Amino acid sequence: MNTESLVPVTVLCTHYRVEMSFFSNLEEIGLVELESIEETQYIPSGKIGEVEKIIRMQQDLNLNLEAIDVVFNLLDKVNGLQNELHSVRQRLRIYES
């Protein structure tokens, strides 16, 4: 992975005022994957939006990380089903006309 697209976890801890353990827990549960380079842990910059979502869900909804993982999985499923529904509707139009 290109190191330019990685952000040190310590920077994010300061920025979002969270403990280092928060990111360790995220990794343990499989919500993010941390990269270790020379004893420093990094997170891909593209995943920051997801981390923010997790922080918001924790703070606004009091959800624990396991529950957030379930929410993410269900949202993925909903998204997949919506795409499938859309594509099936399109195919159906071919046969209906």
**Which range in 1-9, 26-34, 36-44, 87-95 contacts another protein by CB under 8 A?**
87-95
Cα distances (Å, whole numbers) of residue 97 to 13, 36, 88, 90, 91:
57, 56, 14, 11, 11
* x/- track of binding to another protein for residues 54-83 (CB under 8 A): --xx-xxxxx-------x---x------xx
The only residue of 2, 3, 36, 97 in contact with another protein, by rule CB under 8 A? 97
The nearer residue to another protein, 15 or 77, going by C-beta atoms, is 15
Alpha-carbon distance 94 to 97, whole Å? Answer: 6
- Residue 16 phi/psi, 5-degree rounding, is -100, 5
